[in-house]
A and B are shown apart, each in its own frame.
Chain A
């Protein structure tokens, strides 16, 4: 479970986040919506530990035994996954897994990539020849291979074609079904509505609305979002 309690973060005179409270239970996929500069990436960076909050607390705990989740159990997919261009998809995955202290056979690694939708022919190809979507899939495979309990995704569907985007949704749902807590930041209202269980709208660093995605249609979500953005 991810818990953000009364988080405040400012950069010089600019308040990036103000009294942010947010909970993502295991099995939940929480979608953070907001305009550019609303604080979505700042929130993710705080959870990742790349930034320190001015005040407030962030906890990540196992649902079963309430112990703290370590960085080794966090999967992260940036908006633009940059891999080592001189390595193949398989080699990249192997390298990042090794760093995380996990060793898999070539078949297992290949299976991760396939599960993430990367075609088998591309596994041995150098990633310098990959499209953004292909790199994104390797990024997801890296997070998956970690068997993370918490996933943090920054615009994960950005640059993906509709099919790949749909596959990503399915993948995330499967991960959530396995008990992972997923927090993703996105601009894509439709994808968020399709993928997430809960949606939060951030505006100038404040969480202005939380919605259960089952309670709204895509059209209603768009109306709510635009309504908030107008003010």
Chain B
């Protein structure tokens, strides 16, 4: 009898996580209570977490969290922006990566319009250059091959 699947799966996840850590801990020397080895503390923690997960799991039968509203639009655009930043900064430098990431993340808001977003991203890119390169002096390649 499961009333709330989010509670159910998250609690099951906790049990699994605790169990995994406890299992992995057995691979390290446990030591004794007197001289604890590296495996002792995580083993105990793993058991505690699995136990807590089980108690929370019981609640999934009677409780509900209400309908979940997943913010798909921000999830998609902002994840893409962060990945784009990471992928572009190496080969192209800080400024192109910033510009593209700003462009992508701005569209997480449904009311964003292309032209203001381009202007905004350009301003933000200039700001990043001013703050991180000019003021803080962090050694970034601004634009590979140019700056």
Q: Do the two chains bind?
A: no
Q: A-contacting residues of B (Cβ < 8 Å)? A: none
